[in-house]
Amino acid sequence: MADDRRERLSHLERLGEQYYDAMYDSRYPSGEYANAKDVFRDAIVLARELGDEAEVARLEARLAHIKAVFRSQFT
């Protein structure tokens, strides 16, 4: 079961990165940004449930970066 949750975590991160990349190609990047935030938050929650604090910190830093990029380039 832990392997399934780890795979889910990897999937969520990949999906979040896809949404982040799509911000640059979207006519309305705020929707892609919202999706990226939601998916990264889900990944952070799952990493916490798995007790992987290093992963939580890494994902939180990545989410902070995505937020900073959106605010500086799209607002």
Predicted local distance difference test score (pLDDT) of residue 62: 98
Which residues have C-beta within 8 Å of that of residue 64, sequence separation ≥ 6?
Answer: none
Confidence of residue 68 (pLDDT cuts 50, 70, 90): very high
- The pLDDT tens digits of the residues spanning 6-61 come to 999 999 999 999 999 999 999 999 999 999 999 999 999 999 999 999 999 999 99
Rounded alpha-carbon distances, angstroms, from residue 58 to 11, 44, 65, 69, 75: 15, 9, 11, 17, 25
Helices (H), the chain: 2-23, 29-49, 53-73
d(CA 30, CA 57): 24
Domain ranges within the chain, ordered by starting residue:
2-73
